[in-house]
Structure 1
């Protein structure tokens, strides 16, 4: 239909036709194809870009750790919000009208009504009610997800504090047991906190971390903090009777 500048079946049934941003001519084919690519692949591309940015920030050796943490937190927030953008845009369309697809808004493609048997204002009130209901549902879902995310972060922080306390106790015990030598083997140190590892765990790439440290890390990014190899939480092995 796009190649021959024809209406799609849905457009023909509803009596609408695509026009350019000036409501004068049909949009060119390249713009229509670009709009289709944005509609069906835009969200995935945005997610890949944000993930790529996170990886590059993690690999950067020039940035301060505080700046890295803030930027990663911002990117995590954007990745959290992106899936809701389409829903909010749809709600805005139901309430205010305009463009139904985000891709049409970005490319400037509009629709005009060419049917006479049902005017657009006949059904606008029903769509406004639908838009309000959709908006409330999205807001409720966003709030619930946000609270779950915050709760998970608090649990992670609490576990980290507990792990630090346990680590300090183990360090004291190890220092007492080692006597004059008093040094802790580097092989038993966590590569994240750089302290004596608590519940020593190994990734599939062979690096050692505290159990809590590596799981908290993998909650944010699915890569090894040392070699950047892709890893999953299910592949982390907790070492028993290891010294």
Structure 2
């Protein structure tokens, strides 16, 4: 009677290569999905739903591999398998492996209204604002431990107890590469960041409070208006680019009769961000014209003009009514 075969634990190099290969395939799948969505729905719709597209791509990739108890393309490339107390992991564990890395971050960024939370519970708002930094630090700590110990590359796998085994026998005459030095370097960097953070908090907390009060008072005294509307009120919109796109004929913030303009003139009124006819036209300090929702969405990600890369200040946008 033959015994049950025993597979060796996967080596660090195999796990790292598998993870890198999965990232490559997810990025490739996302790029193809973006090209398809852009050709079918347009650039503005794609910009509005980019987070949902990224979530769907990740859930599809890992749901059709890990969720079905099969290898991902990266794991297949390096001949490793996921293992818990059972092989393959249970359905609940596989579902957690698919959902945990992507779904909580998506819900936090898309559905949590930070302005509303701040007014209701300042303490909770502070915790939510610091959550991404805490998760990033936790990921780096887990990565340092992985480089030293050689197991649990992802935080979710460490929590769920999911290891990797290899279908390739180890060669007793070769020594696998060691990544312990990388783990030590990451740990030293984290320790340095912790010491720097503690020192900065202990020495400048009172000064920061005074500066914050003074800045808030100055901002109130120097409120900027666009057409009798405070700019701060306009910037409080959580996601202006998520508003449904409206036809240029329904633009109430222009003196032009859009319907009577020649086709050539209307073609020249294209917004370079959404590639559609401009609505609620505004000009940047460098003189380039965009839709209001498009340039605000862009400016919150990058404080520079998309065309000339000049510094962009959302409080100094100028509404244009005759172009």
TM-score, length basis structure 1: 0.52
Kindly state the Cα deviation for residue 94 of structure 1 after the two structures are TM-superposed: 1.6
Contact (CA 8 Å) 2:66, 2:98: kept in 1 or not?
no
Cα distance, 1:91 vs structure 2: 0.9
Task: Please tell me whether the aligned partners of residues 92 and 131 of structure 1 are also in contact (alpha carbons under 8 angstroms).
Answer: yes
| Counterpart-to-counterpart distance in 2, 1:101 and 1:127 | 16
Q: How far did 1:127 drift?
A: 2.3
For 2:228 and 2:194, locate their aligned partners in 1 and report how far apart those are by CA, in whole Å.
36
Q: Deviations over 1:81-120 (max 9, x none)?
A: 222322221111122343111222344433234432247x
Q: Show the 5 A alignment for 1:152-171.
A: 154=207, 157-158=210-211, 160-161=213-214
1:198 match: 221
Instruction: Specify the alignment match of 2:314 in structure 1.
Output: 235
Per-residue CA deviation, residues 12-53 of structure 1 (Å, 9 max, x unaligned), is 554432223x1x3212466435413433x246336427x716
In the alignment, structure 1 residue 16 sits paired with structure 2 residue 47 = no
In structure 2, distance between residues paired with 1:13 and 1:162: 55
Residue 130 (structure 1) shift:
1.8
Assess, with a 3 A threshold, how the Cα gap between structure 1 residues 147 and 75 changes in structure 2: closer, same or farther.
farther
CA contact (8 A) 2:157 2:163 kept: yes
**Contact 1:36/1:103 (<8 A) preserved:** no
Q: Secondary structure at the match of 1:236?
A: helix
1:48 aligns with 2:109: yes
1:109 aligns with 2:162: yes
2:278 corresponds to which residue?
none
Deviation at 1:205, TM superposition (A): 9.1
2:183 counterpart residue number:
131
User: Deviation of residue 54 (structure 1)?
Assistant: 3.0
Alignment match, 1:77: 130
Q: Which moved more, 1:94-103 or 1:136-145?
A: 136-145
Question: 3-state SS of the aligned residue for 2:170?
Answer: coil
Higher relative contact order (CA 8 A, sep 6+): 2
Secondary structure of the corresponding residue to residue 99 of structure 1: coil
Counterpart of 1:89? Answer: 142
The answer to whether the Cα contact below 8 Å between 1:31 and 1:107 also exists between their aligned partners in 2 is: yes
* Structure 1: runs of 5 or more not aligned: 61-67, 168-189, 191-196, 215-221, 239-243
Q: Which residue of the partner structure matches residue 64 of structure 1? A: none
Query: How many residues in Structure 1 have an aligned counterpart in Structure 2?
Result: 183
What is the match of residue 97 of structure 2?
35
Alpha-carbon distance in structure 2 between the residues aligned to 1:37 and 1:117:
33
In the aligned structure 1, how far is the partner of 2:103 from the partner of 2:184? 26
**Structure-2-length-normalised TM-score:** 0.42
1:38 to 1:154, Cα distance in 2 relative to 1, 3 A: same
Task: Give RMSD over aligned pairs.
Answer: 4.7
Give how far 1:153 is off.
Answer: 9.2
Equivalent of 1:57 in 117, 142, 153? 117
Output the CA distance in 2 between the equivalents of 1:95 and 1:19: 20
